[in-house]
Every structure is written in structure tokens, then in C-alpha cells.
Amino acid sequence: MKTLRLLAIAASSRHVAYVFFIGERLVDWQISDRASASPESAGQYIAGWIEDFGPRAVISERPDTARRKGERSREILSAIGAAAAASGCIHVAIAREKAFPNKYAEAAFFAARYPDLLPWLPEKRIFYENEPRNTILFEAAAPADTDLCDPTSALARAWG
């Protein structure tokens, strides 16, 4: 059986991030500010990432269930699905569930699980500061990690 190649992408109005896994091994990750400039820009970047990595599946948050995201972020999430569909990849769109009390606890958990991400662990912000740039990276890792634990069910959900 071939090893699953999984590209997980998360979006906010200011950043788009991906984490790429081969099997359960984290291989690459990146945060892009330019990919979030517009849905068209996001689609172009994502198509490039798909071409570069050749994933079997792309995972992202479902735009219609992204209640804590603004309209622009939801449009970028839709562009992720369109780029994945155009490439012929399986697109797994999930409804994110809150499994941690906050983003910093989530980031700490995934940094411990994937030590290569430890240098990108965001520091907790003061309420009047913008959210740290690196939190989006851990937002991408969360659904990927969940689906790596049970990839068959996740891919079956994607096919309906």
C-alpha cells in the first residue's frame, strides 16, 4: 500500500499556511502572506503547492461551517477546495471542532507532537495585540493530525 501524502491548508484573512505529511511524518510547512491577498491568489499558490508535493489528499476547513472566520477567509477556503478539485486530488473539507481551550494550548500540543514546529510556537498575546502570525500553522496541523490517526474514515467522508 502506498503511503498517504497529505497536504493540510488553513486560511485567515492575512495568512495561508500548509503542512505536508508523508505518512505520519511532517515533511514541510510554510506560511504565506501573499496567498491570502485574494481568493484568486490563494488558488494559484495552492495549485502550485499541489503540483510541487503531489499529495493524494488536501484537507481544509469547510467554508460553510467556519463561523469564526470572516467573509474573505471563507472565500479563500472555497478557493482551496476549487484548486484541489481542479488538480484531481481528493479534497477533505472538515468542520473544525474546538478540542482545546485556546489556540495557544492547541499550538503547544502540536509543537510537542511535531518537534520540528517548536521554533514556530507562538507566544501568547496581550489582548490589544494582533494574533501571532504562526498560529495559522498550527491551525493547519490540527485537522491533518486528526485525519492521520484514521485516514480511511476521513477519505471516505470526503467521497460522501
Residue-range domains of the chain with CATH: 5-100+139-159 (3.30.420.10)
Rounded to 5 degrees, what are φ and ψ at 91?
A: -110, 120
The predicted pLDDT at position 99 comes to 84
The predicted pLDDT at position 144 comes to 83
Q: Report mean pLDDT in 10-residue bins for the chain, 160 residues.
A: 85 93 93 93 95 94 81 90 92 85 92 94 86 90 73 54
The predicted pLDDT at position 154 comes to 52
Q: Classify residue 151 as exposed, middle or buried by CB count within 10 Å of its CB (0-12, 13-18, 19+).
A: middle
